[in-house]
Structure 1
Amino acid sequence: MQEVMDKLRERAEQANPSRADKSDGLSPENEPKYDCPKCKDQTGYLEVREGYEVWLRCSCIDWRAQKLMKFSEITEEFRKLGFKNFRTEGKPEVIQGAYDCAYNYFQSFEEIREQRQNSITLLGQPGTGKTHLLTAIANNLMFKKHVGVQYFPYVEGFNDLKDDFDKLEEKLARMKEADVLFIDDLFKPAKGVPRATDWQVEQTYAVINHRYLNYKPIMISSELPIDQMVEIDEALATRIYEMCKQYLVLIQGDKFQLNHRLEDMT
């Protein structure tokens, strides 16, 4: 109990510098400015209740989550996707395995986020719920852990950038620096051929390499297994593999059993 109280007190002291700290040449106009003066951006604060100091959740958490969601570029429809509405009943074992992998990643995120294997990739056939599960992680990271996620749908995203090069540097910078980057449908095939122009590969590599060097997590869905990605660009694929190998699932099998959009055809 004492250890918990000490930690709470330490967080409060960090959020409320002592007068001695404030007197080190800082005038009031130079003091830090907070989005939430109530908790000084700590998402909570200490309050004495019945003689005990308790850590209270600040009301700013809700609007912070909404702000993260807005900048994530995740659509309204995707915001509805969570772990609770992902169905595994009646599905092959690999679907349950993908669910377990995604849920365990979310649960372990704070522990692993600064490690080399701090990322997740779900690979394999379309319609198997890869995007659903990664979006569930993203939504939970933003609403429950207040971690920023940048969503980038590979095909639509690069089409938009190709049509407006003025956005390119700004967008790539956001992808490089986001707390977590979610690339959906990497190298999405068209008529069996992966979409991977030299320009697309070059931009993707620049983003992934930056995140790799700076230990910034990625989440990736793709229809291609790692060995096919290696054929496209070995340096890029091996970085993705090294970052994601602790949380990697390859979904392959009978499309009529795996693809939820084909269920009524079985």
Structure 2
Amino acid sequence: MYEQCECRDKKRIQKILQSSNITADFQRKTFGNFLDWSGDQRHQELHQKAYTYAKDFEEIRHREEGHSLGLVGASGSGKSHVAFAVANNLMVKKGIRVLYFNFVNGFKEMFSRYDAGSADVQRIREGLQSVEVLLIDDILKGKPDEKKGYPEISKAVYDEMYGLIEYRHFNHKPTIWTSEYYYELIPALGEATASRLFEMSKGNLGKALYTPEEMTAGEIGKLNYRLRGL
């Protein structure tokens, strides 16, 4: 009987992994293989916030606010790694369904379905709204506007993000999200969407951003593991 239950659990977890949209490579991202190569306290904060969130998820998920996890940091700071580590932990150890959505490619895919009919788009939209845990990676990724300092998004993306975050906010749906931007999310996504993201992640926000002094001193790149040794 025990072997039958164990077999059913393995099949269920395998099904969860297959439906997550997370590739096999990223399913191997764990807390154990996260390299704190810099020794920078900000990297440690990212890891600790994410680890604590995964460990205490069953209690955190029921909060009216602070049920989600936000990871903001410079390119290459490890925010996506620990976000996937959380997702993999929830799926494999807790049997929780997670859906991965890349901010750039995900919306491109959604909008490419517009010609196929509204039912096709609505199915994608409802999947993002209703999944137990949604992982949105690289919010606002793109080339920054020279004057504004952050990328501009289309009205279609602006509207879809508002609808998605509003739904998950008011229905207390845990959301893991990452971005290279923090305060810039307010003018870029709109105050309504950004403030909901921040409220959802209250107490669960890890940051690995440059200080103004570092930017002035031209130290951009020191948090980026892809540039180490260069």
TM band (smaller chain): 0.7 to 0.9
4+ residue runs of structure 1 moved beyond 4 angstroms?
none
Q: Report the Cα offset of residue 195 of structure 1.
A: 4.3
Cα deviations by residue, 1:127-177 (Å, 9 ceiling, x for unpaired): 111110000000110000000001000101111112122432111100000
- Bigger RCO (CA 8 Å, 6+ sep): 2
After the TM superposition, which residues 195-206 of structure 1 pair with which residues of structure 2 at under 5 Å, given as runs? 195-206=152-163
**Sequence identity, in percent?**
32
CA shift in 2, pair 1:89/1:123, >3 Å: same
RMSD value, Cα: 1.8
- Give the counterpart of 2:168 among 207, 211, 226: 211
Q: Report the Cα offset of residue 61 of structure 1.
A: 1.2
Q: Give the match for residue 112 of structure 1.
A: 60
Q: Give the match for residue 223 of structure 1.
A: 180
Task: Give the Cα–Cα distance (whole angstroms) in 1 for the partners of residues 6 and 62 of structure 2.
Answer: 26
Cα deviations by residue, 1:93-147 (Å, 9 ceiling, x for unpaired): 1001110000000011001112121100111211111110000000110000000
**Runs of 5+ consecutive residues of structure 1 not aligned to the other structure:** 1-37, 39-43, 46-55
After the TM superposition, which residues 164-203 of structure 1 pair with which residues of structure 2 at under 5 Å, given as runs? 164-165=113-114, 166=116, 167-192=120-145, 193-203=150-160
Count of aligned positions: 212
- Aligned amino acid, residue 173 of structure 1: E
**Runs of 5+ consecutive residues of structure 2 not aligned to the other structure:** 211-218
**Contact 1:91/1:257, CA 8 A, preserved across alignment:** no
Please state if 1:160 is matched with 2:116.
no
- Aligned amino acid, residue 178 of structure 1: V
TM-score, with structure 2 as normaliser = 0.87
Please state if 1:83 is matched with 2:31.
yes
User: Radius of gyration: which is bigger?
Assistant: 1
Per the alignment, in what secondary structure is the counterpart of residue 153 of structure 2?
Answer: coil
**Contact 2:38/2:223, CA 8 A, preserved across alignment:** no
Per the alignment, in what secondary structure is the counterpart of residue 30 of structure 2?
Answer: coil
CA shift in 2, pair 1:220/1:94, >3 Å: same
After the TM superposition, which residues 1-266 of structure 1 pair with which residues of structure 2 at under 5 Å, given as runs? 58-115=6-63, 116-165=65-114, 166=116, 167-192=120-145, 193-225=150-182, 227-232=183-188, 233-253=190-210, 254-265=219-230
Per the alignment, in what secondary structure is the counterpart of residue 189 of structure 1?
Answer: coil
Per the alignment, in what secondary structure is the counterpart of residue 194 of structure 1?
Answer: coil
Task: Give the Cα–Cα distance (whole angstroms) in 1 for the partners of residues 47 and 196 of structure 2.
Answer: 24
